[in-house]
Structure 1
Amino acid sequence: MEIHTRYMLLGCLVLVLGFVSGGESAISRNVMKEIIRINKEGPYMGIVVPNNFEMSPLLQSPSFVGDVKFGFLDFSGRRFHLGQVGKQKVIVIMTGLGMLNAGITTQLLVTLFRVKGIVHYGIAGNANPNLQIGDVTIPQFWAHTGLWNWQRYGDGPEDELALESNGDYTRDIGYLEFSHYNNDTKNVKSPDNLLNRVWYQPEEVFPVNGTPEIRQHSFWGPVNDYYFSLAERLEGMKLTGCVNSTTCLPRTPIVTRVERGASANVFVDNRAYREFLLSKFNATAIDMESAAVSLVCIQNQKPFIAIRALSDLAGGGSSVSNEAATFASLAAQNAVDVVIKFINLLS
C-alpha cells in the first residue's frame, strides 16, 4: 500500500508540474497518466535485453502473453512491452548496444515503473575454452572492465597514478601491460611499448539508501543471492544444439552458473585479451551491457541476475571458434528458453 501511495503522489506531482509549466515537463501529463494506470497493475519483473534479435524470440514465444489492456508504452525512444510470463507480470525493454544505453534504459525502467527485480539476458563472447557456443552462463559477479586509468609512458607499477592521491583512482585492482603482448623479435632488448599499461578502476555508485553526492565504489557487482541460488535449478535444462539439420554443435549445450562475467564497450574478438580476462579476472562471459545493468540495480537496490548464452569463443582458437554469425540465433534462443524457465521458477 505504501508503494502504491508513493506512485500516486509521484503522478500527482508530475501532473501538477506539467500543468504549471504549460505541459513542458520531462514527462507529459498523458504519459504520466498511463504510467500510473500501469503501476496500479504491478509490481512487475523487468526483463532487459540488448538487441532486437535477442528480444524477438521472447516476444514471439507462446510463453509470453502480451497485456491486452496496455500492450506497450513508448517513452524517451524506448518501447516498454507489457505482458506476462507464467504467473509473473513483466515489462520487457530493449536497451540498444553498449554500457551507456543499458544503464540509461535500466534506470528509466526502475524510475518509471513498479519493478521488483531485473532479469537481463542476451548473448555473449566466451573467455573460457572449457565451455562452448550455445552454453548458457549465469555469472555470480559482474565487473565493468573498460574503466581505465591509462598510465603515461615511462611510469611504472610503483608510480602513483594521476589523481590517485585524491581518491579518484586506484592501483588495487591491477593492470594490463601492453608490452607483455609485444611480438617484435627484432627488438628483444627493448620490450617497452609506448602504450605502457592501463589500470582497471571501480565504478562510482550513489545508492538510493546512501548519502547524496557521497560516492561509493564498486568493481565486482554481485547478482541477487536468492536469484543465483534459484538458478541452480536451471542446470540440466535441455537446450537447442542445432541451427538446422546440417549445422549442429559438437555436444548439447548446457546451463551453468559461473563465478564472473565482464562488460565493456568493446566487442572482444582477440584471443590474447580473452585469455587475459580469464586469467586476471576469471571471467567467462564477455559482453557490452550486463555490468551497466548490474550497477544501476546496485544503486537502486533492485534484485538482479544476468543470463548470457555464449555465441563465440572470443578471438577463436577451437574447432567451433568465432562463429557468432552462424550460431547467434541459436544462442539467443537458448538464452530466452532459460529466462522463461527462470521466471517460472520465481512463481
Structure 2
Amino acid sequence: MIRCGRVPAADLPLDQPLIASPVQTAKRPTVYGILCATIEELTALKARLDVEAEPERHGPTRVWRGRFEGRPLVLAQAGIGKVNAAAAATLLLSLFEAKTLIFSGVAGGLDPDLPVGALLLADRLAIHDYGVVAQGRLTSTASGQIPLGAPELESLAPVPPPVAETLARLAEALGPEADGPVRLGGVITADYFLNCAETRDSLHARFAAQAIDMESGAVNQVAEAWGAPLYVIRTLSDLAGEESHVSYPQMAQMAAHNSALAVMALLPLLAAMDGDEARP
C-alpha cells in the first residue's frame, strides 16, 4: 500500500524551494481615510464626496465607502474627543486598510492675527493635556511616554517633510480662491472646549500654536504608530475666548464647509503623487 506523506527536506532537489513562491499580484491602490468629528463636519464632506448612501457601523463609528477619481476612500465620523478620534483612526488604518489619513473640521483660534474663518493647515501638532500635575500645575510632556522624568513639552512636533511640502502646495493652490486667510501653522489638542482668553493667550505664548482642537493630536499619535501620513485641515469657528461659546454654534457650519473645500483641493494633489497605480 502506498502511503501519502511529506517528503523529507533532505530528499528534495537542491534547486527546488521548500515553499512555493507567492503569486504575483498587482499593487493595491492607496485608500484615503477621511475623518471628522461633528455632524456639521460630516455634512460638509458628504455634500462633496462620492460616497455610499448608507454607512457601515463599527461600534460608535460610522464609515462610508466611496471613491475619488477611481481611487478608494473611506469617510468616518469619529465623534468628539481624543479617544473617539484615536479609535476611528485605528479602525480606518486596520479594518479598511487606509494608507493616508485626512482630518477635516473646525478649531478654536489661539493666534490674535487669525480671524474666524481662517483656514489652518497643520504643519505642527501635539497634545498638551498629558503630563504630570504637581504643586497645582500641569507640566505637559510628550504623549505616549511615561510622564515622570520626561522633559517638559515646549513646542509642537513638526509633521514629516513630505506632508509639509504637500500642505505648502495646497496653501498655494487655495490662496487665490479662499474666502479668508490660509496659513500653515500649529494645532494643539486637548479634551476640553476652550472658552477662556487667559488660557488661550497662554497656550499661544507657550507653544506658538495657532489653533486648538480635541482630536488632531490623538489621530497624529495613531498615524505615527502606523507609519501613515496625516493631513489636518482646520477652519477657525471661534477665537477660544469668553465669546467662543456664542461664536462656535453660529460659525461651525461655515467653518466645516471651508475645511471640506480644502479637502477637495487636497485629494487631487494626493492622487497625482500616487500616480496611475491606484486606478482600477
Task: Name the TM tier (shorter chain).
Answer: 0.7 to 0.9
* RMSD of aligned alpha carbons: 2.7
Map of 1:308-327 to 2, 5 A cutoff?
308-316=234-242, 323-327=247-251
The worse-fitting range, judged by mean Cα deviation, of 72-81 and 42-51 is 72-81
1:203 aligns with 2:143: yes
Partner SS for 1:324: helix
| Structure 2 unaligned regions, length at least 5 | 1-21, 272-280
Do the aligned partners of residues 217 and 95 (structure 1) sit closer, same or farther apart at CA in structure 2, a change above 3 Å counting?
farther
The structural deviation recorded for 1:140 is 1.1
Partner SS for 2:177: coil
For residues 234 and 43 of structure 1, the distance between their equivalents in structure 2, rounded to whole angstroms, comes to: 19
Do the aligned partners of residues 330 and 270 (structure 1) sit closer, same or farther apart at CA in structure 2, a change above 3 Å counting?
same
Q: Percent identity?
A: 26
1:65 aligns with 2:50: yes
Match of 2:64 in 1: 81
Contact persistence 2:118–2:236 (CA under 8 A): yes
For 2:187, give the aligned amino acid. Answer: G
Contact persistence 1:54–1:332 (CA under 8 A): yes
Partner SS for 2:45: helix
Contact persistence 2:119–2:180 (CA under 8 A): yes
The worse-fitting range, judged by mean Cα deviation, of 286-295 and 325-334 is 325-334
1:232 aligns with 2:168: yes
Do the aligned partners of residues 253 and 115 (structure 1) sit closer, same or farther apart at CA in structure 2, a change above 3 Å counting?
same
- 84, 88, 104: which one aligns with 1:105: 88
For residues 217 and 346 of structure 1, the distance between their equivalents in structure 2, rounded to whole angstroms, comes to: 36
The structural deviation recorded for 1:147 is 0.9
Match of 1:52 in 2: 39
Contact persistence 1:221–1:291 (CA under 8 A): no
Partner SS for 2:210: strand
1:292 aligns with 2:218: yes
| Structure 1 unaligned regions, length at least 5 | 6-39, 153-195, 206-215, 240-251
Compute the TM-score of the two structures, normalised by the length of structure 2.
0.77
1:274 aligns with 2:200: yes
Do the aligned partners of residues 122 and 302 (structure 1) sit closer, same or farther apart at CA in structure 2, a change above 3 Å counting?
same
The structural deviation recorded for 1:312 is 0.7
Describe the superposition over 1:113-172 as per-residue Cα deviations: whole angstroms up to 9, x where unpaired: 2211101111000000101111110121111111131113xxxxxxxxxxxxxxxxxxxx
How many residue pairs match? The answer is 238
Contact persistence 1:148–1:201 (CA under 8 A): yes
Describe the superposition over 1:11-45 as per-residue Cα deviations: whole angstroms up to 9, x where unpaired: xxxxxxxxxxxxxxxxxxxxxxxxxxxxx975311
For residues 272 and 119 of structure 1, the distance between their equivalents in structure 2, rounded to whole angstroms, comes to: 31
The structural deviation recorded for 1:73 is 2.5
1:253 aligns with 2:240: no
The structural deviation recorded for 1:321 is 10
Compute the TM-score of the two structures, normalised by the length of structure 1.
0.63
For residues 152 and 38 of structure 2, the distance between their equivalents in structure 1, rounded to whole angstroms, comes to: 26
Do the aligned partners of residues 323 and 67 (structure 1) sit closer, same or farther apart at CA in structure 2, a change above 3 Å counting?
closer
